[in-house]
Each structure stands twice: as structure tokens, then as C-alpha cells.
Amino acid sequence: MRRILELITAKARQLGRGLIKDPGIKVIALLFAIILWSSAMTEANPMTVVTLRDMPVAYRGMDALNNMRELAISGDPESYLPTVDVRLQVPRNEYLQVSRGDITLYVDLANVNEDGLHTLRIDYVKTRASIQGVTLTPAAIESVPVETMGKRAIPVKPVVVGVADTNYWYGPARVSPTIVQITGPTTTVSSVDSVAVYLDVTGVTSTIDRSASFVLLDAQGNEIDAAGLNFSTPNPVVSMQILPTKTLPVDTSLALSGEVDTDYTLVGVTSYPLQVKVAGEQHLLDALTSVQLAPVDITGLKQDRTLSTNLRLPEGVSLVDSAPVLLSIRVDPKLDTKVLDNLPVEVTGLGQGRRVRGDLPRVDVQITLPVFLRSELNAGRLQLYVDASGLGAGTHTLDVICQADADLLATNVLVMPATVGIQIE
């Protein structure tokens, strides 16, 4: 080739001596020189083939497809994108300079205007001007399903998982937003039964307030791939207050107000439970040695009572167990001792044909009963007797039995003397 160029150049010089003054010949000579130069350069720097394998492909026009034409690619759009082998040509002196960034592959969705199966051509944009002869394998994506867009607003539920530390109180989990709007392929959107945000508390001992992710579940509780779906709020925020706890005794010393009835005595006060677990910031818990109860009014109380009451907790401290605190109040009636004297004694149980000679001695009775019943006590409310059952004739010493009416609530009865002698005939 070099020899041919030398011969052509020599011939041109011979022609030029005779035609140098002709303008048309000058133009032709210039064009001829350009062609000769280009041919020489091509011979010196020929085009070389480069193959870029497994090149990624991206979509263009997805927003317009979804928002303007209200269409969507079924399932995960990315799953339909293949990797492409790109064959191209560049001048040999640029061979080592070619990189994957010199060409960008894309699928333009501008012509997708209806649902159904579509064949999408793969196009490219080159950023290196010298690239020529581009061949793509594959050159298109076959059978890409397109369907109408669906839209639903679904409540969001926080779900707590993991193992909580028993030394800490974990408040209710909260999530924002509480409702999320999901937009995407109708078949996918309609399969969503609920939206959850999971919060793992394992090893967590401080308040949580952080971004999370939506988890879509079907009616069977199976997770649904969220690829291809859009959320009105991309990242929910989940929060939970976590505080240290402390177990404290319940102090009942200030739990009562007022006085019981004058005929009664306060016996005791007991709380159930005897101790409670509270939660709060550590410095607040450190200042507590017990928990007080809200006072309960016992003015005029005449019987035992069990009442529900509240704890008096400092601001910033709360009860861990929400069960009510019960206060058991016990009262006993005040007692009075009264003596009835010179009371007759009867004889019971005498055998047939038997009788007692003479009159039985009289006795005194000392009885203890509630103050409010002392006015009810009289001889007629007592039964005094000796039991002669099975006894024969002769002199016998018998215990005097005293029975008071049950409604007198007698707690102690003393007969004086406790025994009497009788003679049976």
C-alpha cells in the first residue's frame, strides 16, 4: 500500500506542474489529498472489535408509565432485565481505553400504552464518539407483562419480636404513618392483606425511635415481595419507650383517712400485692424506697372492706403491672364485759321418775360482747342449765352450762360458780 501511495503522489506532482494555475484542478487535488490521508490513517490505525459482556440494562420512562398512563410492569420490573453482551468497534489506538462506562443500555417505555405482553427493544447511548458497529445480544426483551396500576390504603401494624430484658419496661410500639397507600401492579396490590413493621427488642435497653421498612403480608401471613410497588411514605418510623424497672414495697401507713365507727377498732391494713414493679428514668427510681397509696376514707366503717385504690407515683414513674392495687381493711367491734347476777339454773336430762330435791343454787354470769350489743343483753337471752342425763339417785356436782343467743356475738362467757351440787331422788 505504501508503494502505491508513493506512485500516486509522484504522478500528482507531474500533473500539478502543468495544471497549477487551474482552480478546479486545485479543488480536485485537495479532495484527492484528503482521501489519500484518510486511507493512510486507516491503514495505520484500523478499527478493532471490543466485546463488553454482561452489561446492565435500565428502564427509561417508568414514572410516565406509572403516573401518566397508569400502567405497571407485573411483579418485579428488574427481574425482566437481562444482562447484554455488547460488540463494538473502536480505533486500535483506543482499544485499551474502552470501558463499560462508554456505552449505556436502556429500555424505553415511551411506546408502552396498553396492558398485555410487550417486546421491548434494548437501545444504547455511547459516550465515546469513536464507537461504531454496535451489536447487542440480546437486542430485545420478549414477553414483558404490563397491567393496570392498583392503589390501596392499608393500616400499618407494629409487630414486636425478639426477647425483652426482664429488668426493663417496654412500652407499646408505635409506628408512623399508621396508614400507607400502596401503588403498583393490580395483581400484587390486591394480594396484600396487611402491612407490618417489625421491631426486634432483643438486647435493646434504651428507647427506640428509628426508620424501618414495610413488610407486606398476604392473607396466610406470607411475606410479599415489595419490588415494583410504591409507598406513600417510603420509610416508616417505629418508636418504643424503654425504661429500667424497680420492685418496691407498698407503704400503707398513710393509706387511710378518717376514723372507723366509735364502736369499732381498726385492726389492720394490708395491700395486695405487697410490692409492685415500677418503671422510670434511673435517677427517679434511685430516689424511691417504697410506694405510697392514695388515701381511702374509712369514716364510720363498721365492717371489713376490700377496696381498689391507686398508687401515688412521682411524675415520670409508672406502674408496670396494670392490675388494680387492693387495700384490705379489717375492723373489729369494741368489746364490753357485763355481769348478770343471781340467775337461776335449770336441770335437764333427768331420768323418768327422778326429781331434784330442793332448789339449785343461783349463779352469776360474766359475758363479753360487742359494745353496740350491750343494751340487748338480759337474763332472757341466756340459757343456764346442768345436764343430769344418765345420773341415778344421789348427790352430784355438775358443770353449769351457759348458752347465749347467737346474735349477741358473745366472745367470752364465765359462770360463777362454774359448778353446782344437786341431789337426785
Cα–Cα distance, 415 to 367 (Å, whole number): 9
- Confidence band, pLDDT 50/70/90 cuts, at residue 236: very high
Q: What is the mean pLDDT of residues 327-336?
A: 95
Residue 19 pLDDT: 46
What residue type is assigned to position 210 of the chain?
Answer: R
Domain ranges of the chain: 2-44, 46-159+178-194+215-235, 244-333, 335-424
The reply to whether 335-424 shares the fold of 244-333 is: yes
What string of DSSP letters covers 41-56? HHHHS-EEEEEEEEE-
Return the SS3 of 188: helix
Closest CA to 204 of 237, 177, 235, 171: 171
CATH fold of the domain at 335-424: RNA Polymerase Alpha Subunit; Chain A, domain 2 (2.170.120)
Cα–Cα distance, 377 to 25 (Å, whole number): 157
Q: What is the mean pLDDT of residues 165-191?
A: 95
% of the chain beyond a pLDDT of 90: 82
| CA angle 11–15–21, rounded 5-degree value | 150
Per the prediction, the chain carries an average pLDDT of 90
Q: What is the mean pLDDT of residues 200-208?
A: 95
Give CA separation, 416 vs 15, 166, 342, 420, in Å.
171, 66, 10, 10
The three cell numbers locating residue 159 = 409487630
- Confidence band, pLDDT 50/70/90 cuts, at residue 33: low
The residues, any chain, with a CB within 8 Å of residue 21's CB and separated by 6 or more, are: none
When the candidates are 3.40.50.720, 2.170.120.30, 3.30.390.30, 3.30.1960.10, the CATH number that belongs to 46-159+178-194+215-235 is 2.170.120.30
Q: If residue 86 lies in a helix (H) or strand (E), which one and from where to where?
A: strand 84-91
Q: Centre a 10 Å sphere on the Cβ of residue 41 and count the other Cβ atoms it contains.
A: 11
DSSP state of 374: G
Q: What is the mean pLDDT of residues 82-92?
A: 96
Query: For residues 293 and 253, is the Cβ–Cβ distance under 8 A?
Result: no
Per CATH, the homologous superfamily of domain 244-333 is: YbbR-like domain (2.170.120.40)
Query: For residues 173 and 238, is the Cβ–Cβ distance under 8 A?
Result: yes
- Which residue carries 356475738 as its cell? 409
What residue type is assigned to position 140 of the chain?
Answer: A
pTM given for the model: 0.62
DSSP state of 94: G
DSSP state of 288: -
